[in-house]
Amino acid sequence: QQQVKQSPQSLIVQKGGIPIINCAYENTAFDYFPWYQQFPGKGPALLIAIRPDVSEKKEGRFTISFNKSAKQFSLHIMDSQPGDSATYFCAARKPARQLTFGSGTQLTVLP
Amino acid sequence: EPEVTQTPSHQVTQMGQEVILRCVPISNHLYFYWYRQILGQKVEFLVSFYNNEISEKSEIFDDQFSVERPDGSNFTLKIRSTKLEDSAMYFCASRSGTSGSDQYFGPGTRLLVL
């Protein structure tokens, strides 16, 4: 019940494409769902986060779609660039608790 | 922009030795965390710390691990007797006390146990 399942494991898109990364959870006590971007040898950097009272949130080229009934959420990257090539982690958190991370998606954006 | 800082960036130690990893959380934050990431794997929770005490810990955080906030700015993770399997990236994170607040990670310490 604590798991967050993330797919795909890896993703390759052309520059300008829209990669979509999906996550699913079981525990309905989760109330905060962030996405982190991680470059090799660096710490996870917070990209965008959503709470379950909204179905979509957009910040720049990054959009989270949230489906509360299906217990799924996804990250869309508009107009992807080679500099977006990184590992992306979804996560979930119960109130005042630690983050539970997905397994990560390695994104490669080809020039 | 405020950020979480960690030292050292790299640490190499012999099995059985003690290591202390240091973190300076963002200054007005109240919740502090340690996570680790074994190479190529996902980020795993170790321990959370609030109001000068451990609020939660995972199964990984056994008696060989301890945390401390020795002063108003530093937050440390000590591994008493390192094992080969402790080799990983260790990340400190912090967040403010407000409900639903975002959690920010430091750059990590790469620990290699030989």
Amino acid at A11: L
Q: List pLDDT tens digits, range A17-76.
A: 999 999 999 999 999 999 999 999 899 999 999 999 999 999 999 999 999 999 999 999
Q: List pLDDT tens digits, range B4-45.
A: 999 999 999 999 999 999 999 999 899 999 999 999 888 999
- How many CB contacts within 8 angstroms connect chain A with chain B? 54
Tell me how many degrees the CA angle A87-B96-B102 measures, rounded to the nearest 5: 30
Q: Is B102 on the interface with A (CB under 8 A)?
A: yes
Q: Which tops the pLDDT comparison, B40 or A84?
A: A84
Q: Which residue of B has its CA nearest to A95?
A: B100
pLDDT at B98 over 80: no
Contact B91, B48 (CB under 8 A): no
**Cis link prior to B8 (omega < 30° from 0)?**
yes
Q: Mapping DSSP to helix (H, G, I), strand (E, B) and coil, where does residue B96 land? A: coil
Contacts of A99 in chain B (CB under 8 A): 33, 35, 43, 45, 93, 103
Residue B72 pLDDT class (50, 70, 90 cuts): confident
